[in-house]
Structure 1
């Protein structure tokens, strides 16, 4: 038996496109009041118009601790609580380690790993109060590293490690921790890649299979957060049927 999200408050990061946008819409459709944050704040207005429920838009940069704390505070000020955090903001800048532009490494670590940690830190007091849920959007790269995605994989392995430690700290206090690990999803993520060879490889890979859609991941998140309170779905690995590794 699943539970309803009616009246629950959800904060979604990286909500301006892809998985974040689809998840925000799916949870809103189930009755949640949603706070949606992203750096591309202009894009959030169109999402807010599409969402059936109450929406708060946030100009949010997860790499900036002040911005993160303000987003959590503004959400609670507006809605009076915070029940679910969906940590979705991320960048994927694939490329070989040899000769890499290490500023891209810094950007991935700051966004994917530290940003996720900062959000948890800011939201946790509120989630503990409500016996809420943390959803960490990771990747298949968080369980299997491959050539040319070393740093991206390192950030996602880090998310998994941090999430398991968090789970052990808070689960007995009623906060559930869910790690969602998507395989190849049709989003803008691969569009961030600056290496032309890697960009072409990503496009070729996407063309070779029936990729997941953002809505597929949103469905997995919805499943996890609507379980009865005594049920914790800690990990969801979700790949396209056609993806072999």
Structure 2
């Protein structure tokens, strides 16, 4: 299937590993010129041939620098994938282990800087180019936005805000040819779920149970009908499809193994 992406340009945040790396690989395979942003360049990212821009997207300066360097490299931006997220395990664990009364403002601020403000600032910086090229913004959210009682509370709320941002971009800039789409994964086989020092591994240690047992418990509690987590490649295929030319705008696509039951 030809996704009609050959010759286009893209910026992918959080492109050094996990879902972001899988997106970079697929876009490059489709003939897209890609700039990937992350704090560090991994060997895997370097192998893709994408241009790496090292930035800290929790800062306003990082977003400005990324788009300036991406525009200088690419000439213009057709696709923006706001994927950066999760960050340090200690940070995300706080939201899962502490109550609303215990979680400090600094944790909320850091989480929103990483998961919401990074997307807002990068999108805002890229919009002149996206309007000119009638481009597409894909925001990588999470089903956590719909699951207020599960997982890190600050993360959940930041993703709900990101979902609303997608709708606003679609509404305000759709008439100028810009599309905005949300992709909301459930559990994905990235470090959060697979690494012994990741969030699930940390919670397993806290509860004194084997890592794999904790994964199974989480999937059962969440009601996963497929009985497994998604792979980064599966999520990336949905993201790249969303970025391909279509009349889809303001929509949210869920890839969660059947966790979300509501219509």
Give the TM interval when normalised to the shorter protein: 0.7 to 0.9
Look up the match of 1:96: 98
Q: Which residue of 2 aligns with 1:37?
A: 37
Q: Residue 234 of structure 1: which of 248, 251, 259 is its match?
A: 251
Which string of whole-angstrom CA distances, capped at 9 and with x for unpartnered residues, describes residues 61-92 of structure 1?
11111121111111111111100000000124
Aligned with 2:163 (options 160, 170, 175): 160
Which residue number in structure 2 is paired with residue 84 of structure 1?
Answer: 79
Aligned position for 1:9: 9
Assess if the C-alpha contact under 8 Å between 1:8 and 1:31 holds in 2: yes
Match of 2:61 in 1: 66
Residue 173 of structure 1 pairs with residue 176 of structure 2: yes
Relative distance call for 1:87 and 1:204 in structure 2 (3 A) is farther
Task: Show the counterpart of 2:148.
Answer: 145
- The alignment of Structure 1 onto Structure 2 pairs a total of residues equal to 238
Cα RMSD after superposing both structures: 2.5
State the distance in 2 between where 1:199 and 1:157 align. 29
Taking structure 2 as the reference length, the TM-score comes to: 0.81
How far off its partner does 1:146 sit? Answer: 1.6
- Note the alpha carbon deviations across 1:153-176, whole angstroms, 9 max, x for none: 110010011111111101111100
Match of 1:225 in 2: 243
Residue 113 to residue 203, structure 1, CA distance change in 2 (3 Å)? farther
Contact 1:4 1:31 in 2 (8 A): no
Q: Which consecutive residues of structure 1, in runs of 5 or more, have no partner in the other structure?
A: none
The more displaced of 72-81 and 182-191 is 182-191
2:113 is matched with which residue?
Answer: 110
The alpha-carbon distance between structure 1 residues 220 and 107, as it changes in their structure 2 partners (threshold 3 A), is same
